[in-house]
Amino acid sequence: MTLRSRLAVIALAVSCAGGLVGCGTPRMEPDAVPSAPDMVLPTPAANDFVSTVMRTRGLGTAEVAIDVSTTTDEGSVQLTGSGPVSVNKGYGRLEWSSDDGETFTEVSNGKGLFVQSGGPSALWTHLPDKTSTATGRLADPLRGIGTAMSVVRHGSEPLGDISAVRYTGRIPASPESIALLGLSDGQITALGDSWRGEWIDLTVWVDPRGRIVRMERSLTIPESDGGPVSATTTTTLDDFSRTIDLEPPPTESVTEGSSSG
């Protein structure tokens, strides 16, 4: 390799690394849509899919509706959440409700995760950076889907009042990828090594404007240390590129927490 070629490779690596590093701000402005990446991938379907993920991230923000269904040895849980998120930062303000009537709110930004349960007048609990709950991670709906393998494009099909292109693929199961299915850290730890060799099934729908508007992740582990485990998370995205407010609650309304949920 010539000196000029080596310098070009180094410059590209530095540029890519810089693009992956960011710091959150409480108020999220939508970003400009980036050009589709020029990359070589195994199949045209995979190449189109990664371009779609990048394009959707470039929209900056979206309104999401999330349905979570999990079954573990602790029982079955159904959750629904909605609110604005920053699809390129992984932050959001989500209102959650469970099938047993519990409601809570989570605000995530560069200052950590703030959780409020017990109604709008209750105190918030602040969890420090890198500490989360089973639902706090779901404010980052696009995380990890660009790594999907065996991506197949299935053509257009009706989705609500639009015609959307459906893609399917699968993501290797790992503690990190399973954490995006609504399982808590404790539940993931209880799986032991039973996730090894398993796959998360991924289905994504893309609208005529090239935006991801619906996605589903699903995992079934027939044999784990605590018995069969299944988890499915379905996320609908719309109302893209709006300015959203992720300001933390007033300091006097916040108590400090120290452990994940």
Tens-place pLDDT, residues 189-222: 999 999 999 999 999 999 999 999 999 999 999 9
pLDDT at 28 over 90: no
pLDDT at 13 over 70: no
Residue 176 · residue 219 · CB < 8 Å: no
Question: Could you tell me if residue 102 is inside a domain?
Answer: yes
Mean pLDDT of 16-23: 38
Question: Could you tell me if residue 118 is inside a domain?
Answer: yes
Question: Could you tell me if residue 7 is inside a domain?
Answer: no
Strand partners for 204? 167, 215
DSSP secondary structure code for residue 41 in this structure? -
Contacts of 3 (CB under 8 A, 6+ apart): none
Of 85, 101, 100, 187, residue with least CA distance to 137? 85
Q: Dihedral of the CA atoms 129, 135, 141, 142 (nearest 10)?
A: 50
Q: If you write DSSP's letter for every residue of 215-260 in order, what string do you get?
A: EEEEEEESS-TTS-EEEEEEEEEES-S--EE-PPPPGGGEEE--S-
Task: Decide which of 121 and 84 is more confident.
Answer: 84
Confidence of residue 224 (pLDDT cuts 50, 70, 90): confident
Contacts of 140 (CB under 8 A, 6+ apart): 85, 87, 89, 90, 91, 92, 180
Residue 102 · residue 115 · CB < 8 Å: no
What is the pLDDT, as a whole number, of residue 212? 98
Question: Could you tell me if residue 179 is inside a domain?
Answer: yes
Residue 238 · residue 63 · CB < 8 Å: yes
Give the separation between CA 36 and CA 47, rounded to whole angstroms: 10
Question: Could you tell me if residue 15 is inside a domain?
Answer: no
Mean pLDDT of 160-175: 96
Question: Could you tell me if residue 4 is inside a domain?
Answer: no
What is the pLDDT, as a whole number, of residue 239? 97
Q: How many domains does the chain have?
A: 1
Confidence of residue 226 (pLDDT cuts 50, 70, 90): confident
Percent of the chain at pLDDT exceeding 70: 81
Question: Could you tell me if residue 93 is inside a domain?
Answer: yes
Mean pLDDT of 168-178: 96
Residue with the two structure tokens 């105190």: 123
What is the pLDDT, as a whole number, of residue 20? 35
What is the pLDDT, as a whole number, of residue 38? 38
What is the pLDDT, as a whole number, of residue 223? 87
What is the pLDDT, as a whole number, of residue 29? 55
Tens-place pLDDT, residues 45-63: 878 999 999 999 999 999 9
Give the E-state strand segments of 50-198 in sequence order: 61-72, 75-86, 91-98, 103-109, 112-117, 124-127, 149-159, 162-172
Neighbours of 167 (CB within 10 A): 24
Where in the sequence is the domain holding 64, given as residue range(s)?
A: 26-256
pLDDT at 15 over 70: no
What's the pTM value of the predicted model, to 2 decimals? 0.81
What is the pLDDT, as a whole number, of residue 30? 52
Residue 181 · residue 217 · CB < 8 Å: yes
What is the pLDDT, as a whole number, of residue 39? 38
Mean pLDDT of 219-234: 91
Question: Could you tell me if residue 1 is inside a domain?
Answer: no
Confidence of residue 260 (pLDDT cuts 50, 70, 90): very low
CATH code at 201?
A: 2.50.20.20
Q: Which residues of 51-60 are buried (b: 16+ CB within 10 A; e: fewer)?
A: bbbbbbbbbb
CA angle 103, 180, 42 (to 5 degrees): 150
